[in-house]
Amino acid sequence: MDKSVAKLGQSIKDVLLAINEAPAGVAFIVDEQEKLAGVFTDGDVRRLLLEGGSIDQLLTRDLLGENFVYGRQDETPEQLMQKTNYRIRIIPIVDENFRLVNYFRYEHKTHLTPVAEPALKGNEFAYLMDAYLSTWISSRGEYINRFEKSFSDYCGVEYGVCVSNGTAALHLALLSLDVGVGDEVIIPNLTFGATINAVLHTGATPVLVDINKTNWGVDLEEVKKAIGPKTKAIIPVHLYGHPCEMAELMEIAHRNRLYVIEDCAEAHGAEYDGKKVGSFGDISCFSFFANKIITTGEGGMCLTKNSDLDKKLRIIRDHGMSPDRKYFHEMVGHNFRMTNLQAAIGCAQLERIDSILEERTEIESKYRKILEGKGFEWVDIKDKRSKSVVWLVSCLTKNRENVMAAFRKEMIDVRPFFIPLSRIPIYEKYLFSEKNSLEIASHGINLPTVEGVDFSLVEKIAASL
Ligand SMILES: *Cc1c(COP(=O)(O)O)cnc(C)c1O
């Protein structure tokens, strides 16, 4: 502390020496009565020299200026912190006689704990290098076959078709079921925009149906009301890891001769009635984007039990080309392929999916314990057939703005739920019903579901709420 103190009337050079010695990196300047007169920094010296000053001139009150930030001995760290910002990071602290007694440094936490991040802790790098060294870096290769086989096995479905991303999976599924212009497709009003975009790209008309408050999935009574002569398919979304009521939904679909495309982008490993989600619909679609439960960077997959659909999915994925006759296009296809490099990462991720899911469940239970009694609501599905997974820790709070501010103040990121599609202008004309989705979406938040969450900070936040 002493070393970082210089006196009024000393030369600028002496002040620089003080700054050089100072643990705080600034010089605290005192007057003849040892009272704090100000703070001088490297930057102040630089400005002085640039304005024609000299290193030998003496430090005067004029040079120091009158306005400087300081704290008092009886102020709390929070109060002191309020006085700091990204430019003023160090402030002197004085006693009742304005004598310098200490200084306060705000240790700014610069790393924001993200809501999601990929956990690449297993064989990801080894398999990726193996694929790379094999030179099979495009969309054919052993890892593609292996990932299709192992992921479809994991879900208990016969066929798996890797694609470039989850949105492509939905688009491909709709195309292979001949959904297009003149058809209506029922989707929940609360989902990520990819679900509706995929429908719109086929030329079909989406019908936005409200969700239920139990599992945040599409409401079955509303689905029944929304079905009309043009309805061709339903896309249930297992939102935030919670399975929809698939038995009842499949029943409604069969009765009305509708296709079911499960959007499982947020629910890898979730179960219903002892079976994995993705094993109920005609086709089910997964995403392996970097924030999903398992990732390939970008990537997706369609699963189906139907061998004809499997063939069709593959043809459309590959430019619509016939598998039997080279360069003969059976239909106007797309290039929706995944690379062998991505599949290599996927194979390694899938090896660890059980422990990845377990870790996520543990993270959620820590939040639930700490935030207990603070007005948070969690999904607790009574239906014993349902087994949710944790994608992003998701809960509801009536106090959302304050809660989000409290987390972000501690550099913990927090996200609001998706915006109900009916409340986004380009989609609003597709509204059928929206009541619950508005309520859930306006209270929902996602908390960081990553390894590095500092739960002592979460405790501090909880205490402040
Ligand atoms: C992430 C997501 C998608 C899209 O997946 P991408 O791989 O990003 O294209 C589709 N539906 C839902 C519900 C999602 O969360």
pLDDT, one tens digit per residue, over 243-299 is 999 999 999 999 999 999 999 999 999 999 999 999 999 999 999 999 999 999 999
Choosing from 170, 287, 418 the residue with most ligand 1 atoms within 8 A of its CB, the one to mutate for a pocket test is 287
Which atom of ligand 1 is the closest one to the Cα of 198? 10
**β 90-94/100-105 pair status:** antiparallel
Angle at the Cα of 100 (from 96 to 103), degrees rounded to 5? 110
Q: Which of 245, 307, 308 is nearest to 280 (CA)?
A: 245
Q: What is the pLDDT of residue 128?
A: 97
The pLDDT value recorded for residue 88 is 82
Question: Is 80:91 a contact under the CB 8 Å cutoff?
Answer: yes
Report the chain's mean pLDDT, rounded to a whole number.
Answer: 94
Q: Is the dihedral of CA 7, 11, 14, 18 positive or negative?
A: positive
Please, are residues 24 and 125 in contact by the beta-carbon 8 Å criterion? no
Ligand 1 centre and the CA of 12: distance in Å? Answer: 61
Q: 356 C-alpha vs ligand 1 centroid, how far in Å?
A: 19
Looking at residue 172, what is its pLDDT?
A: 98
**Nearest C-alpha neighbor of 457 from the set 402, 390, 401, 411:** 411
Q: What is the DSSP letter of 391?
A: S
- Tell me which residue has its CA closest to atom 1 in ligand 1: 265
SS3 217: coil
**Best CA proximity match to 278, nearest among 180, 169, 182:** 169
194 Cα–ligand 1 center, Å: 6
Mapped onto helix, strand or coil, the DSSP state of residue 11 is strand
The pLDDT, as a whole number, for residue 77 is 77
Tell me what pLDDT residue 465 has.
87
Cβ(314)–Cβ(324) below 8 Å: no
Task: Summarize pLDDT for 92-131 with one digit per residue, the tens.
Answer: 999 999 999 988 887 666 688 999 999 999 999 999 999 9
Q: How far apart are CA 391 and CA 221, in angstroms?
A: 26
Read off φ and ψ for residue 195, nearest 5 degrees: -60, -45
Is the Cβ–Cβ distance between 38 and 65 less than 8 Å? yes
Instruction: Tell me the CA–centroid distance for residue 122 and ligand 1, in Å.
Output: 24
Largest CA distance in the chain: 96
**Ligand 1 atom closest to Cα of 298?**
7
Two structure tokens written together for 299: 């990537």
Tell the residue nearest (CA) to atom 5 of ligand 1.
Answer: 166
Q: Give 323 Cα–ligand 1 centroid separation in angstroms.
A: 29
Instruction: Return the structure tokens found at 359.
Output: 């870790």
Best probe residue, ligand 1, of 115, 187, 192 (max atoms within 8 Å of C-beta): 192
Running DSSP on this structure, what letter comes out for residue 360? H
**167 CA to centre of ligand 1 in angstroms:** 6
Cα–Cα dist 320/175, whole Å: 11
Q: What's the gap between Cα 172 and its chain centre?
A: 25
Q: Which pLDDT score, from 0 to 100, does residue 195 have? A: 98
The values of phi and psi at residue 234, to 5°, are -125, 140
152 C-alpha to center of ligand 1: Å?
Answer: 18
Three-state DSSP class for residue 162: strand
**φ/ψ of residue 91, rounded to 5:** -130, 140
Residue ranges of the chain with pLDDT lower than 50?
none
Residue 388's nearest CA partner among 226, 227, 133, 215 is: 215
Nearest Cα residue to atom 14 of ligand 1: 265
- Rounded to the nearest angstrom, the distance between the alpha carbon of 285 and the centre of ligand 1 is 9
Phi, then psi, of 248 in degrees rounded to 5: -65, -40
Å from CA of 410 to ligand 1 middle: 29
Pocket of ligand 1 (CB under 6 A): 165-167, 191-192, 194-195, 237, 263, 265-266, 287, 289, 300
State which of 289, 291, 418, 419 you would mutate to test the pocket of ligand 1, scoring each by most atoms of that ligand within 8 A of its C-beta: 289
- C-alpha span between 280 and 246 (Å, rounded): 7
Tell me the whole-structure pTM to 2 decimals: 0.81
Calculate how far, in angstroms, residue 392's C-alpha sits from the geometric centre of ligand 1.
13
Shortest-distance atom of ligand 1 to CA 289: 7
Residue 109: the pLDDT is 65
